[in-house]
Structure 1
Protein backbone atom coordinates (compact mmCIF):
# COMPACT_ATOMS: atom_id res chain seq x y z
CA UNK A 1 0.00 0.00 0.00
CA UNK A 2 1.20 3.53 -0.74
CA UNK A 3 2.45 5.76 2.06
CA UNK A 4 -0.31 7.87 3.61
CA UNK A 5 -0.71 11.42 2.34
CA UNK A 6 -1.15 14.13 4.93
CA UNK A 7 -4.81 15.15 5.05
CA UNK A 8 -5.79 18.71 4.22
CA UNK A 9 -8.79 20.75 5.30
CA UNK A 10 -12.19 19.73 3.94
CA UNK A 11 -12.63 23.34 2.82
CA UNK A 12 -9.42 23.37 0.77
CA UNK A 13 -9.41 22.80 -3.01
CA UNK A 14 -9.39 19.30 -4.47
CA UNK A 15 -5.89 18.61 -5.78
CA UNK A 16 -3.95 16.16 -7.89
CA UNK A 17 -2.64 14.69 -4.62
CA UNK A 18 -6.23 13.99 -3.54
CA UNK A 19 -6.89 12.14 -6.79
CA UNK A 20 -3.67 10.16 -6.51
CA UNK A 21 -4.57 9.26 -2.92
CA UNK A 22 -8.02 8.03 -3.96
CA UNK A 23 -6.69 5.91 -6.82
CA UNK A 24 -3.90 4.37 -4.75
CA UNK A 25 -6.29 3.50 -1.91
CA UNK A 26 -8.70 1.96 -4.41
CA UNK A 27 -6.02 -0.12 -6.12
CA UNK A 28 -4.66 -1.34 -2.77
CA UNK A 29 -8.15 -2.41 -1.71
CA UNK A 30 -9.01 -4.12 -5.00
CA UNK A 31 -5.76 -6.11 -4.97
CA UNK A 32 -7.26 -8.05 -2.05
CA UNK A 33 -10.02 -9.53 -4.23
CA UNK A 34 -9.83 -13.22 -5.14
CA UNK A 35 -9.22 -13.83 -8.84
CA UNK A 36 -12.46 -15.77 -9.28
CA UNK A 37 -14.63 -12.93 -7.96
CA UNK A 38 -14.23 -10.53 -10.89
CA UNK A 39 -17.03 -12.03 -12.97
CA UNK A 40 -19.69 -11.14 -10.36
CA UNK A 41 -21.87 -8.03 -10.45
CA UNK A 42 -20.50 -4.79 -8.97
CA UNK A 43 -23.02 -3.83 -6.31
CA UNK A 44 -26.26 -2.57 -7.84
CA UNK A 45 -24.70 -1.99 -11.27
CA UNK A 46 -25.55 -4.08 -14.31
CA UNK A 47 -21.85 -4.55 -15.06
CA UNK A 48 -19.54 -7.18 -13.67
CA UNK A 49 -16.57 -6.15 -11.56
CA UNK A 50 -14.08 -6.39 -14.42
CA UNK A 51 -16.23 -4.13 -16.61
CA UNK A 52 -16.67 -1.67 -13.75
CA UNK A 53 -12.91 -1.24 -13.34
CA UNK A 54 -12.66 -0.70 -17.09
CA UNK A 55 -15.43 1.92 -16.84
CA UNK A 56 -13.66 3.68 -13.95
CA UNK A 57 -10.37 3.60 -15.87
CA UNK A 58 -12.18 5.04 -18.87
CA UNK A 59 -13.65 7.86 -16.78
CA UNK A 60 -10.20 8.85 -15.52
CA UNK A 61 -8.71 8.62 -19.01
CA UNK A 62 -11.54 10.67 -20.53
CA UNK A 63 -11.17 13.45 -17.96
CA UNK A 64 -7.43 13.59 -18.66
CA UNK A 65 -8.17 13.74 -22.38
CA UNK A 66 -10.52 16.71 -21.93
CA UNK A 67 -7.62 18.70 -20.48
CA UNK A 68 -5.16 17.53 -23.13
CA UNK A 69 -5.64 19.74 -26.20
CA UNK A 70 -3.86 23.09 -26.30
CA UNK A 71 -7.34 24.60 -26.67
CA UNK A 72 -9.70 22.24 -24.80
CA UNK A 73 -13.20 21.84 -26.24
CA UNK A 74 -16.03 23.76 -24.59
CA UNK A 75 -18.91 22.21 -26.54
CA UNK A 76 -18.26 18.46 -26.53
CA UNK A 77 -15.96 15.59 -25.67
CA UNK A 78 -12.67 14.88 -27.37
CA UNK A 79 -13.95 12.45 -30.04
CA UNK A 80 -12.48 9.11 -29.07
CA UNK A 81 -14.56 6.09 -30.05
CA UNK A 82 -16.36 4.62 -27.04
CA UNK A 83 -17.83 1.18 -27.60
CA UNK A 84 -19.24 -1.68 -25.57
CA UNK A 85 -17.90 -5.20 -25.79
CA UNK A 86 -21.37 -6.66 -25.17
CA UNK A 87 -25.01 -5.49 -25.14
CA UNK A 88 -25.56 -3.63 -21.88
CA UNK A 89 -21.88 -3.31 -21.09
CA UNK A 90 -20.15 0.03 -20.52
CA UNK A 91 -19.15 1.99 -23.61
CA UNK A 92 -15.42 2.59 -23.15
CA UNK A 93 -12.39 3.70 -25.09
CA UNK A 94 -10.29 1.85 -22.50
CA UNK A 95 -10.38 -1.95 -22.28
CA UNK A 96 -7.99 -4.20 -20.38
CA UNK A 97 -6.46 -7.34 -21.85
CA UNK A 98 -8.26 -10.20 -20.10
CA UNK A 99 -5.21 -12.40 -20.56
CA UNK A 100 -3.33 -10.11 -18.14
CA UNK A 101 -5.70 -11.06 -15.31
CA UNK A 102 -6.77 -8.88 -12.38
CA UNK A 103 -3.22 -7.60 -11.83
CA UNK A 104 -3.18 -6.25 -15.38
CA UNK A 105 -6.66 -4.77 -14.97
CA UNK A 106 -5.52 -2.84 -11.90
CA UNK A 107 -2.44 -1.63 -13.78
CA UNK A 108 -4.83 -0.16 -16.36
CA UNK A 109 -6.74 1.58 -13.55
CA UNK A 110 -3.58 2.92 -11.93
CA UNK A 111 -2.18 4.13 -15.25
CA UNK A 112 -5.44 5.86 -16.20
CA UNK A 113 -5.52 7.57 -12.83
CA UNK A 114 -1.92 8.68 -13.26
CA UNK A 115 -2.79 10.32 -16.58
CA UNK A 116 -5.46 12.46 -14.94
CA UNK A 117 -3.21 13.23 -11.95
CA UNK A 118 -0.52 14.45 -14.36
CA UNK A 119 -2.92 16.58 -16.40
CA UNK A 120 -4.36 18.22 -13.28
CA UNK A 121 -0.84 19.03 -12.08
CA UNK A 122 0.30 20.70 -15.32
CA UNK A 123 -2.90 22.41 -16.52
CA UNK A 124 -3.24 26.07 -15.48
CA UNK A 125 -6.15 26.80 -13.18
CA UNK A 126 -7.78 29.19 -15.68
CA UNK A 127 -8.25 26.44 -18.31
CA UNK A 128 -11.81 25.24 -18.94
CA UNK A 129 -13.06 22.14 -20.75
CA UNK A 130 -16.37 20.49 -21.52
CA UNK A 131 -18.20 18.06 -19.29
CA UNK A 132 -21.86 17.13 -19.54
CA UNK A 133 -22.40 18.29 -15.95
CA UNK A 134 -20.88 21.70 -16.57
CA UNK A 135 -17.79 23.18 -18.24
CA UNK A 136 -15.10 22.70 -15.63
CA UNK A 137 -11.56 23.51 -14.54
CA UNK A 138 -8.63 21.24 -13.56
CA UNK A 139 -9.78 21.14 -9.93
CA UNK A 140 -13.25 20.13 -11.07
CA UNK A 141 -11.89 17.27 -13.18
CA UNK A 142 -9.77 16.14 -10.23
CA UNK A 143 -12.87 16.16 -8.02
CA UNK A 144 -14.85 14.22 -10.64
CA UNK A 145 -12.08 11.64 -10.77
CA UNK A 146 -12.12 11.31 -6.99
CA UNK A 147 -15.91 10.84 -6.89
CA UNK A 148 -15.81 8.25 -9.68
CA UNK A 149 -13.03 6.40 -7.87
CA UNK A 150 -14.65 6.45 -4.42
CA UNK A 151 -18.16 5.45 -5.45
CA UNK A 152 -17.21 2.86 -8.07
CA UNK A 153 -14.77 1.28 -5.63
CA UNK A 154 -17.72 1.02 -3.26
CA UNK A 155 -19.71 -0.74 -6.02
CA UNK A 156 -16.77 -3.07 -6.55
CA UNK A 157 -16.24 -3.66 -2.84
CA UNK A 158 -19.86 -4.83 -2.57
CA UNK A 159 -19.42 -7.26 -5.44
CA UNK A 160 -16.00 -8.47 -4.32
CA UNK A 161 -16.94 -8.60 -0.61
CA UNK A 162 -14.23 -6.17 0.46
CA UNK A 163 -14.25 -3.45 3.12
CA UNK A 164 -14.16 0.10 1.76
CA UNK A 165 -14.52 3.34 3.72
CA UNK A 166 -12.59 6.22 2.16
CA UNK A 167 -11.14 9.11 4.20
CA UNK A 168 -13.76 11.55 5.48
CA UNK A 169 -11.73 14.64 4.55
CA UNK A 170 -11.49 13.48 0.94
CA UNK A 171 -15.25 12.93 0.79
CA UNK A 172 -15.90 16.33 2.38
CA UNK A 173 -13.76 18.19 -0.17
CA UNK A 174 -15.40 16.63 -3.21
CA UNK A 175 -18.84 17.22 -1.72
CA UNK A 176 -17.98 20.90 -1.29
CA UNK A 177 -16.65 21.12 -4.85
CA UNK A 178 -19.25 19.13 -6.79
CA UNK A 179 -22.31 18.91 -4.53
CA UNK A 180 -22.45 22.35 -2.85
CA UNK A 181 -26.16 21.93 -1.99
CA UNK A 182 -25.71 18.58 -0.23
CA UNK A 183 -26.87 18.45 3.41
CA UNK A 184 -24.29 19.56 5.95
CA UNK A 185 -23.32 17.98 9.25
CA UNK A 186 -23.69 14.28 8.46
CA UNK A 187 -20.92 11.76 7.85
CA UNK A 188 -19.21 12.87 4.60
CA UNK A 189 -18.96 9.35 3.15
CA UNK A 190 -22.61 8.62 3.87
CA UNK A 191 -23.56 11.97 2.37
CA UNK A 192 -21.52 11.29 -0.76
CA UNK A 193 -23.23 7.92 -1.18
CA UNK A 194 -26.60 9.65 -0.77
CA UNK A 195 -25.64 12.38 -3.26
CA UNK A 196 -24.73 9.73 -5.86
CA UNK A 197 -27.91 7.72 -5.38
CA UNK A 198 -26.26 4.91 -3.48
CA UNK A 199 -27.46 5.31 0.08
CA UNK A 200 -29.96 6.64 2.60
CA UNK A 201 -29.50 9.86 4.55
CA UNK A 202 -31.74 10.42 7.59
CA UNK A 203 -34.24 13.20 7.01
CA UNK A 204 -33.79 13.22 3.24
CA UNK A 205 -35.50 11.14 0.53
CA UNK A 206 -33.30 8.71 -1.35
CA UNK A 207 -32.26 10.10 -4.72
CA UNK A 208 -33.40 8.27 -7.84
CA UNK A 209 -31.67 10.75 -10.17
CA UNK A 210 -28.63 12.86 -9.43
CA UNK A 211 -25.83 14.89 -10.97
CA UNK A 212 -22.97 16.99 -9.72
CA UNK A 213 -22.19 20.60 -10.64
CA UNK A 214 -18.73 20.72 -12.18
CA UNK A 215 -18.70 24.45 -12.86
CA UNK A 216 -15.88 26.38 -11.15
CA UNK A 217 -16.67 27.87 -7.76
CA UNK A 218 -14.96 31.19 -8.56
Structure 2
Protein backbone atom coordinates (compact mmCIF):
# COMPACT_ATOMS: atom_id res chain seq x y z
CA UNK A 1 0.00 0.00 0.00
CA UNK A 2 1.32 3.43 -0.91
CA UNK A 3 2.07 5.65 2.05
CA UNK A 4 1.72 9.30 1.10
CA UNK A 5 3.73 11.96 2.87
CA UNK A 6 2.41 15.47 3.22
CA UNK A 7 2.82 18.41 5.55
CA UNK A 8 -0.29 20.02 6.95
CA UNK A 9 -0.71 23.06 9.14
CA UNK A 10 -0.95 21.01 12.31
CA UNK A 11 2.49 19.53 11.68
CA UNK A 12 3.79 23.00 10.90
CA UNK A 13 3.08 24.03 14.47
CA UNK A 14 4.34 20.76 15.89
CA UNK A 15 1.04 19.56 17.32
CA UNK A 16 1.35 16.20 15.59
CA UNK A 17 5.02 15.78 16.43
CA UNK A 18 4.46 13.39 19.29
CA UNK A 19 2.06 11.25 17.29
CA UNK A 20 4.52 10.97 14.42
CA UNK A 21 7.54 10.20 16.57
CA UNK A 22 7.54 6.51 15.67
CA UNK A 23 8.53 3.52 17.74
CA UNK A 24 12.28 3.95 18.16
CA UNK A 25 13.17 5.07 21.66
CA UNK A 26 10.25 7.22 22.77
CA UNK A 27 12.21 7.98 25.94
CA UNK A 28 15.01 9.62 23.99
CA UNK A 29 15.13 13.38 24.30
CA UNK A 30 16.22 14.29 20.78
CA UNK A 31 16.02 13.02 17.21
CA UNK A 32 17.92 13.72 14.02
CA UNK A 33 16.14 15.97 11.55
CA UNK A 34 16.86 18.01 8.43
CA UNK A 35 16.51 21.78 8.45
CA UNK A 36 14.62 22.26 5.16
CA UNK A 37 15.86 25.84 4.83
CA UNK A 38 19.47 24.59 4.73
CA UNK A 39 19.01 21.43 2.65
CA UNK A 40 20.12 21.64 -1.00
CA UNK A 41 19.00 18.17 -2.13
CA UNK A 42 22.57 16.95 -2.62
CA UNK A 43 21.57 13.21 -2.71
CA UNK A 44 23.76 12.22 0.26
CA UNK A 45 20.66 11.25 2.26
CA UNK A 46 19.99 8.38 -0.13
CA UNK A 47 23.53 6.98 -0.07
CA UNK A 48 24.99 7.60 3.40
CA UNK A 49 22.20 6.26 5.62
CA UNK A 50 23.28 3.10 7.47
CA UNK A 51 19.94 1.47 6.67
CA UNK A 52 19.48 -0.50 3.46
CA UNK A 53 16.68 1.92 2.61
CA UNK A 54 17.26 5.49 3.72
CA UNK A 55 15.08 6.83 6.53
CA UNK A 56 14.95 10.16 4.69
CA UNK A 57 11.89 10.77 2.52
CA UNK A 58 10.45 13.67 0.60
CA UNK A 59 7.41 15.50 1.96
CA UNK A 60 5.01 17.90 0.26
CA UNK A 61 3.76 21.14 1.79
CA UNK A 62 0.52 21.80 -0.07
CA UNK A 63 0.20 25.33 1.32
CA UNK A 64 3.31 26.25 -0.68
CA UNK A 65 2.60 24.20 -3.81
CA UNK A 66 1.42 25.97 -6.97
CA UNK A 67 -0.23 22.80 -8.38
CA UNK A 68 1.62 23.59 -11.60
CA UNK A 69 1.13 21.80 -14.91
CA UNK A 70 4.83 22.28 -15.68
CA UNK A 71 6.29 21.18 -12.35
CA UNK A 72 10.09 21.36 -12.08
CA UNK A 73 9.98 18.95 -9.16
CA UNK A 74 8.18 16.36 -11.26
CA UNK A 75 9.32 16.73 -14.86
CA UNK A 76 12.82 15.93 -16.05
CA UNK A 77 14.59 18.87 -17.65
CA UNK A 78 14.65 16.96 -20.94
CA UNK A 79 11.02 15.80 -20.88
CA UNK A 80 9.39 14.98 -24.22
CA UNK A 81 5.82 15.64 -23.16
CA UNK A 82 3.88 16.80 -20.10
CA UNK A 83 2.52 13.47 -18.92
CA UNK A 84 3.21 10.66 -16.45
CA UNK A 85 5.44 8.60 -18.75
CA UNK A 86 8.50 7.35 -16.85
CA UNK A 87 10.93 8.92 -19.30
CA UNK A 88 9.49 12.36 -18.52
CA UNK A 89 9.77 12.09 -14.75
CA UNK A 90 12.60 13.57 -12.72
CA UNK A 91 12.25 11.04 -9.88
CA UNK A 92 14.19 7.82 -10.62
CA UNK A 93 11.61 5.69 -8.77
CA UNK A 94 8.41 7.54 -9.80
CA UNK A 95 7.77 8.42 -6.14
CA UNK A 96 6.20 11.77 -7.00
CA UNK A 97 2.60 11.03 -7.94
CA UNK A 98 0.83 13.49 -10.27
CA UNK A 99 -2.99 13.71 -10.23
CA UNK A 100 -5.22 16.10 -12.17
CA UNK A 101 -7.22 18.48 -9.96
CA UNK A 102 -9.07 20.93 -12.20
CA UNK A 103 -9.09 23.00 -15.36
CA UNK A 104 -9.64 26.65 -14.52
CA UNK A 105 -9.83 29.33 -17.21
CA UNK A 106 -7.92 27.10 -19.59
CA UNK A 107 -5.15 26.35 -17.07
CA UNK A 108 -4.73 22.81 -15.78
CA UNK A 109 -3.81 22.19 -12.15
CA UNK A 110 -2.26 19.04 -10.68
CA UNK A 111 -1.66 17.74 -7.18
CA UNK A 112 1.70 16.15 -6.40
CA UNK A 113 1.98 13.66 -3.55
CA UNK A 114 4.83 11.43 -2.41
CA UNK A 115 4.76 7.65 -2.43
CA UNK A 116 6.89 7.23 0.68
CA UNK A 117 7.60 3.55 0.06
CA UNK A 118 9.00 4.36 -3.39
CA UNK A 119 10.96 7.45 -2.30
CA UNK A 120 14.71 6.90 -1.80
CA UNK A 121 15.48 10.37 -0.45
CA UNK A 122 17.69 11.34 -3.39
CA UNK A 123 16.48 14.95 -3.33
CA UNK A 124 16.18 15.35 -7.10
CA UNK A 125 12.59 16.55 -6.82
CA UNK A 126 13.58 18.89 -3.98
CA UNK A 127 16.28 20.50 -6.07
CA UNK A 128 13.90 20.80 -9.02
CA UNK A 129 11.05 22.19 -6.94
CA UNK A 130 13.38 24.82 -5.46
CA UNK A 131 13.38 26.49 -8.88
CA UNK A 132 9.70 27.34 -8.34
CA UNK A 133 7.66 27.14 -5.11
CA UNK A 134 9.95 24.92 -3.05
CA UNK A 135 7.09 22.94 -1.54
CA UNK A 136 8.95 19.61 -1.71
CA UNK A 137 11.63 18.95 0.90
CA UNK A 138 13.30 16.12 2.80
CA UNK A 139 12.65 14.90 6.33
CA UNK A 140 13.92 12.03 8.47
CA UNK A 141 11.02 9.62 9.06
CA UNK A 142 11.10 8.46 12.65
CA UNK A 143 9.19 5.24 12.09
CA UNK A 144 12.23 4.26 10.00
CA UNK A 145 15.21 6.05 11.57
CA UNK A 146 17.17 4.16 14.27
CA UNK A 147 18.45 7.46 15.71
CA UNK A 148 22.17 6.69 15.69
CA UNK A 149 24.32 8.60 18.17
CA UNK A 150 26.49 9.67 15.24
CA UNK A 151 24.55 9.95 11.98
CA UNK A 152 26.51 9.10 8.84
CA UNK A 153 24.37 11.45 6.76
CA UNK A 154 24.96 14.30 9.22
CA UNK A 155 28.71 13.80 8.82
CA UNK A 156 28.40 13.94 5.02
CA UNK A 157 25.93 16.83 4.79
CA UNK A 158 27.63 19.74 2.95
CA UNK A 159 25.38 22.44 4.44
CA UNK A 160 25.10 21.23 8.06
CA UNK A 161 21.36 20.81 7.53
CA UNK A 162 21.20 17.93 10.02
CA UNK A 163 20.31 18.92 13.54
CA UNK A 164 18.99 17.47 16.77
CA UNK A 165 15.37 18.34 17.58
CA UNK A 166 13.14 17.55 20.58
CA UNK A 167 11.67 14.04 20.39
CA UNK A 168 8.18 15.39 21.05
CA UNK A 169 8.43 17.66 17.98
CA UNK A 170 10.60 15.67 15.59
CA UNK A 171 9.58 17.25 12.28
CA UNK A 172 10.50 20.63 10.81
CA UNK A 173 8.90 22.84 8.20
CA UNK A 174 10.23 25.63 6.06
CA UNK A 175 10.04 29.11 7.53
CA UNK A 176 7.83 30.14 4.62
CA UNK A 177 5.35 27.35 5.35
CA UNK A 178 5.24 28.30 9.02
CA UNK A 179 4.54 31.92 8.07
CA UNK A 180 1.81 30.92 5.62
CA UNK A 181 0.09 28.75 8.19
CA UNK A 182 0.22 31.38 10.93
CA UNK A 183 -1.17 33.94 8.48
CA UNK A 184 -3.96 31.52 7.57
CA UNK A 185 -4.87 31.09 11.24
CA UNK A 186 -4.93 34.85 11.70
CA UNK A 187 -7.17 35.29 8.66
CA UNK A 188 -9.58 32.65 9.96
CA UNK A 189 -9.74 34.41 13.30
CA UNK A 190 -10.46 37.71 11.54
CA UNK A 191 -13.24 36.06 9.57
CA UNK A 192 -14.82 35.10 12.88
CA UNK A 193 -14.55 38.75 13.94
CA UNK A 194 -12.35 37.95 16.93
CA UNK A 195 -11.44 41.39 18.37
CA UNK A 196 -8.25 40.13 20.06
CA UNK A 197 -6.94 38.44 16.92
CA UNK A 198 -7.91 41.49 14.88
CA UNK A 199 -5.86 43.75 17.15
CA UNK A 200 -2.85 41.40 16.99
CA UNK A 201 -3.11 41.32 13.21
CA UNK A 202 -3.16 45.11 13.01
CA UNK A 203 -0.08 45.37 15.24
CA UNK A 204 1.95 42.81 13.25
CA UNK A 205 1.11 44.53 9.96
CA UNK A 206 2.70 47.82 11.07
Tell me which protein shows more strand as a share of its residues.
Answer: 2
Give the number of the structure whose alpha-carbon radius of gyration is greater: 2
Higher relative contact order (CA 8 A, sep 6+): 2
Tell me the TM-score normalized by structure 2.
0.29
